[in-house]
Amino acid sequence: MPLSDLKCRNAKPAEKDYKLTDAGRLYLLVRPNGSKLWRMNYQFAGKQKTLSIGAYPSVSLADARQSRENAKEHLAHGRDPALASADHPERRFKIVATNWWDARRKRWNAVYAERIWSRLENRVFPRLGELDVTKVAARDILALIKEIEVEGKHDLARRVRQYVSGVFRFAIASEITATDPSATVIDAMESRPKTVHRAAIREEELPEFFRRLRNYNGESQTALALELLIHTAVRSKELRLATWSEFDFEKKIWRIPEERMKMKKEHFVPLSKRAIEILYELKEIAGDSDLIVPSPDKVAQPISNNTMLYYLYRLGYHSKATVHGFRSTFSTIANESGLWREDAIETQLAHSEEDESRDSYNAALYLAERTRMMKWYSEKLVTLSKKVPNRDDLLEGLL
């Protein structure tokens, strides 16, 4: 009995693959993961073969039947329908990319999903959209990447290549194509322009740093401010000018208003257990001041721009570390762990992107992941602060 669109639409996944058969050896393969794929069995040159037509509902029942008829026409003229890609509009890169995006967006933050779609539409589809995904070559992808690199947007070029690779891996899993040509493009891409990084403390040096911070008989408010900065990875100015009204201790969130942010965008900072403990200690010192770190001399003003830096110097880190460098320390540890998405790390650092289309920035972007990440990072810092420093660091501290 021929299939109906209703039967295709209502087909539910089972523990194993099963087929819904239409006429002319056409069938819909329903897989345990919920995907529904059009297939047609046929014989060519004495061999049994299967033609992959596309995924339902992107390829409708009517379209699948038309592809079946086209395949029969090719067979009648002695041609293998699997090689007649012109009869497979569902293989267009734009169609496959749309299916990939639609499958993945359920796992993404809505803002992030829309940002990727915008980049596909504005950057990728104009060059690759109408190409048969089985015939896209590395040179096609490289030409797209070079267009972006010429604009000086190397991070965006790298991300776009990752999206294209995601589309091809989806196509491979869907048995539409066999290779990912974007993988060979990486070596031909330009390196990011070198950034001058401020001196930063490495992970293995943190036990000694925390030992010095704990044992130094200096201004406790500055020591606490420095520790809070390390546990939150914010900029020093964002911390120095912070007021108590920005903190929601119940929700464990620090909301930094846009007028105080470098990129002029409101920013949410998750607060770990240790960060909150530090804030309570700072509150006792601040007294009635609206500022979390008021100047000891003028309570209506914050500590100076150099207060924490000079404290680092007195700890023995002159030319070895900077206050801003602790953001690099966080970035390095978080990235090298492999536990967190790069976008979540960059959002925590409130870094802007090269793509000017990012008008949909949301202060709460990746907040759930960032909350877990900052909890993980803060607990790691606490563990490192209790670790005995290695012998070389101890000797250096005595010099």
Residues annotated as catalytic are 235, 262, 324, 327, 351, 361
Using an 8 Å Cβ cutoff, are 327 and 233 in contact? yes
Distance CA 47, CA 70 (A): 19
The most distant pair of C-alpha atoms in the chain lies apart, rounded to whole Å, by: 93
d(Cα 21, Cα 253) in Å, to the nearest integer?
55
Cis peptide before 2 (omega within 30 of 0): no
CA angle 339, 344, 349 (to 5 degrees): 115
- Pairing status of strand 253-256 against strand 267-270: antiparallel
CA distances from 50 to 33, 81, 87, 164, 232 (A): 21, 10, 15, 27, 56
What are the contacts of 150-153 at 24+ separation with CB within 8 A?
152/354, 153/354, 153/355
Q: Is 55 helix (H, G, I), strand (E, B) or coil?
A: strand
H-helix or E-strand containing 215? helix 206-215
Exposure b/e, 301-317, CB count within 10 A at least 16 = b:
ebbeeebbbebbeebbb
Tokens 């007195």 identify what position?
314
Which residues contact residue 79 at a Cβ distance below 8 angstroms, ignoring those fewer than 6 apart? none
Nearest Cα to Cα of residue 394 among 200, 202, 223, 210:
210
